[in-house]
Amino acid sequence: MTRTVFLDRDGTLNREQGFVTKPQELEVLPGAADAVRRLHDAGFRIVVVTNQSGIARGLYTESDLAAIHDVLHERLLRLPTAYLHCPHHPEGSFGYGGACVCRKPAAGLLFQAKELLGVAFEGGALVGDSARDLLMARGLPLRTIHVRSGKPVQHERAVLAHEGLTVDHEAADLAGAVDWLLASR
Ligand SMILES: [Mg+2]
Ligand SMILES: [Zn+2]
């Protein structure tokens, strides 16, 4: 069985900067591509799962996001299997407003991956910089790793504590997360 690592995007793979609205704004974090390569070489499938409510807010379009992900895919050595996103926002518009099941912390994107790609959760992991990312794995057989490379860490830790979620590991960045994952298999 191929194990899958789900990666958040902003603050995990690229610099957290609010919204990335065009490819030129994308800044892949140092060491991220190498970490992705190490995961791939260790036999993990890689799936990016990301909230992109900028679409519902009218800041960029689905086709802008596709162009951003084309560039990200190149920078990540074309190794991730898929990039799944939630374009919605509860107060959004442009056809993407209202409640949905895919906006993290809901687990919809994980189940999309299961349906579209036939991935299993068992033996896999989820890496993210925000509590919202990690909460999506609640109740699923995924190891959770909180990385400190994005959102202010104290706040995210407090949210996790408030929600009663204990992550399996905390690392400085994706490279540290991969070190731990590969050592603890
Ligand atoms: Mg993030
Ligand atoms: Zn959604």
Give catalytic status of residue 41 as yes or no: no
Give the structural domain span for 102. Answer: 4-183
- Paired residues of 50 in beta bridges: 85
Q: Ligand 1 mean position to 183 CA, how many Å?
A: 24
* 5-24 per-position pLDDT tens digit: 999 999 999 999 999 999 99
Determine whether 8 is an active site residue.
yes
Q: How many domains does the chain have?
A: 1
Helix-helix angle 32-41:174-183, to 10 degrees: 20
Query: How far apart are the C-alpha atoms of 8 and 109, rounded to whole Å?
Result: 11
- What's 10's domain CATH number? 3.40.50.1000
Which ligand number lies closest to the CA of residue 52? 2
State the Cα–Cα distance between residues 129 and 149, nearest whole angstrom.
Answer: 6
Taking 70 as the pLDDT cut, the residues of the chain under it are 185
Strand order through the sheet with 124-128: 82-86, 45-51, 4-7, 124-128, 142-147, 169-171
For residue range 48-61, list pLDDT tens digits in order: 999 999 999 999 99
pLDDT the model gives residue 169: 98
Q: Ligand 1 centre and the CA of 140: distance in Å?
A: 20
Task: Give me ligand 2 centre to Cα 86, in Å.
Answer: 4
The one-character DSSP state at 65 is: H
Residues in Cβ contact with 164 at an 8 Å cutoff, skipping those fewer than 6 apart: none
Nearest ligand atom owner, CA of 148: 1
User: Is the pTM of the predicted complex or chain greater than 0.85?
Assistant: yes
